[in-house]
Amino acid sequence: MCGRKTLTKDKKSIIEELKIENWDETINYTPSYNIAPTQKSLVLVGEKDKRLVKSMNWGLIPSWSKNKNIGSKLINARSETLHEKPSFKYLIKSNRCIVLSDGYYEWNTTNSKKQPYYFYDKQKNILPMAGLWSSFLSKDNETILSYTIITKKADKEISHIHNRMPLIIDFNRIDDWVNIDGLIEVNSNYELVRKDLLSFYKVDSFVNSYRNNKKDCIQPIK
């Protein structure tokens, strides 16, 4: 799974790297070293064939849900079963997005000890994670935008640490993913997916608490 991530780049760098054309100016963005589920973070969607960045809650709340708290249970969506799950299968045709991140954390358990690792792009680029998003109207007439990150079986090089990883889209295929044009099959062999791009290292348990949001979170340890 992917249950914690980072986006440490500034707004200008994100816009330049991803060739963003529109940015929701209501967003109060600050770089983060420890983004946790239910928190707001940046998502790229396609709008009139242009790339638009919005802020959404991490944890999908289906439009038909009666309880917005369900979002904390829907932070990831397995690529292998997307077409089977009621929460996701109707979004594949209409509500695809890119979750903006430049790294993520996973925990490996050995001898009852959980060791956090930080995964990032070898070239220090953004990791465009495939996602699905939804719009939910609460009982208080508040519109809540939320998303989930699509995951797949981990690549062989990192599977000894965790058996799942985010489905990461190739930079040249971002528009194919977000600009809705019929049904796209999502699996680990699909040509949109980037491969062999991740590096990783151990980090301190300081990152375990989502309240810790400093550069210390991504400092390597031996």
Q: Which residues are catalytic?
A: 2, 106
C-beta of residue 42 within 8 angstroms of C-beta of residue 51: no
Instruction: Sort 208 into a burial class: Cβ within 10 Å, 0-12 / 13-18 / 19+.
Output: middle
C-beta of residue 130 within 8 angstroms of C-beta of residue 96: yes
To which H or E segment does residue 178 belong? helix 174-178
Structure tokens at 222: 């031996």
For 54, 82, 98, 206, the CA distances from 34, given in Å and listed in that order, are: 19, 27, 18, 10
CB within 8 A of 48, min separation 6: which ones? Answer: none
Give the whole-angstrom CA distance, residue 42 versus residue 105. 17
Give the whole-angstrom CA distance, residue 166 versus residue 106. 11
